[in-house]
Structure 1
Amino acid sequence: MLSFLIKRILSAIPTLLIAYTLVFFIAHATPGSPWDSGGNRPIEPSIKAVLDAKYNLDKPLYVQYTSYLWNALQGDFGPSYRDRTQSVNDIVARFLPVSLKLGAAAMLLAVLLGLPLGALAALTRHPAVDGLIRMISTLGISMPTYVVTSILIVSLGVGLGLVPTFGWKGLFTASSLVPIFSLALAPLAAVIRCFRTSMLEVMNLDFVRTARAKGMKPLPIIIHHMGRNALIPAITVAGSYAAYVLVGSFFVESIAGIPGFGRYFVLAIAARDYPVIIGTTLIYAVIVVVINLLVDLSYFLLDPRARLEQGR
């Protein structure tokens, strides 16, 4: 297992380097300058030259590329061009925890509801129950998050007045209900469908029939035999959604007015704030790599065959 972990960590290095290279050159290839005001009065060339010199934008691209990469390896993502009173590290420390809390709550809701609903859809003998759960999962996958967020704000906030229509007051307040449910709906639907399919595949396998023949009670069979084996594909699906949800949705945070990482990333793109764009993308890439690594490690805990193959 240790050798597998080392290999995966080493293989993540070129992935992060490619992500950095792409976002660096795409950001700098975007027309315009970080100092463009967007109004009718453009910035004076002399002032622009001073700002370029201060932030090393007057140097060749390869110099900027290597300089930023070296500083990023030391944990310094540089200053923000949009808000020059704080660095990218300050922005990350301020906004990332909000998105992580919001995303973690959404994924927890998706998993805790998705697994029992998926098992219920597979095990129930009533077609109406299975059909209702399948309809909910289909709607969750097909509806974009910004549509769900808008519908919930209009219905629950404007129509009924149960939740705020804009703003963020903390995770355990009414202001978090709409964004949490909006972010949780898509992974909830995916977990339901995947776990239902997996349960249907394993419920008639030999080891399940053997457990029934031995006289085991239905609940232990469902949890220890069927559920554990059906959980592996569901974890893979949940992991693919977790990277997107844990750092927050750009649309959900922008529509609901949440001061999260995703919303600030959108503002940084509009302002051509190169250090924030690059630093945010690198953090996204690291989160994706870490989540994929955790998903792979979970296979060792759930599937004995993975441990046997690794031990050979």
Structure 2
Amino acid sequence: MHPAFSVVFFTTATGAGYGLLALLGVLGGLGFVQPEIWFGLVGMALALGLIGAGLLSSTGHLGRPERAWRAFSQWSSSWLSREGVASVATFIPAGLFGIGWVLLGGSGGWVAVAGLLAAAGAVATVCTTGMIYASLKPIAQWHSRYTLPAYLIFAAMTGSVLFNVLLQVFGIGSKGVLIVALLLTLLGWGWKLATWRYNDRLEITTTANTATGLAGGTVRSIEWPHTEENYLLKEMGFRIARKHSAKLRRIAQVLAFALPAALLMIAFALPWPFAAAASVLAALLQFAGMLVERWLFFAEAKHTVTLYYGR
């Protein structure tokens, strides 16, 4: 599949934003993190800013971005439409939670309810995003048991690393959050390796023979249906060389998982402000690494329509 940067950035930014929003909603609303005006403002601005930037960028690959609103009308049958509805609906409890927790300095009661609803909306939106790809049967690399959990794990991972940055920068610091962020980073690494291993061993049962219903021998295309590149070949027939794929996988592992894990361990052992600096660097590297991982997620996927073009 052709990896449009707008979608790559969208899935990376919104995942981190929703992960952070869920943590703020639960921990802030229930009083585990005491309300403080600047901490709350920066935290909510970062979470909602990432979500908003990601949602806006997602319209960049549309032929007619001004018609994006029509996607909301197909919520009964389309995961893309459900994602749009869930993303917008989540802003309502998130806004109420921000008012109560940040501006009014409250927790518990209706603030906790709003925070929990915002967290639930964040999880639901990430699930709908994952299901957009997991539900696509023509793309075997996505239509697997690994896709939806990956979206949830990566959202929790990047969100917890950002939450740790907030705590460290504001001098609050939490060894527990550091440990959770580290464990989620290692979990994300392991899940990504398992996904790659599954995809590399994947045997596509659909062939030109099964597609045409012609048994015996090998069905091959003598001529293409057209004489020049078209939308299907550009979007569905994108191919990445094996050597480039292997190199980018190593880069993704180092930036998204290995270096952030090492920096989080360093932050665990160092006092402030060195722990804060290590935490910020871990978050920046992880975000860059997840952009590479998301690019590979799209680039390595193969649509069965390419069978009709001899690929």
Q: TM-score range by the shorter chain?
A: under 0.3
Which structure would you say has the larger Rg? 1
Normalised by the size of structure 2, how large is the TM-score?
0.28
TM-score normalised by structure 1 residue count: 0.28
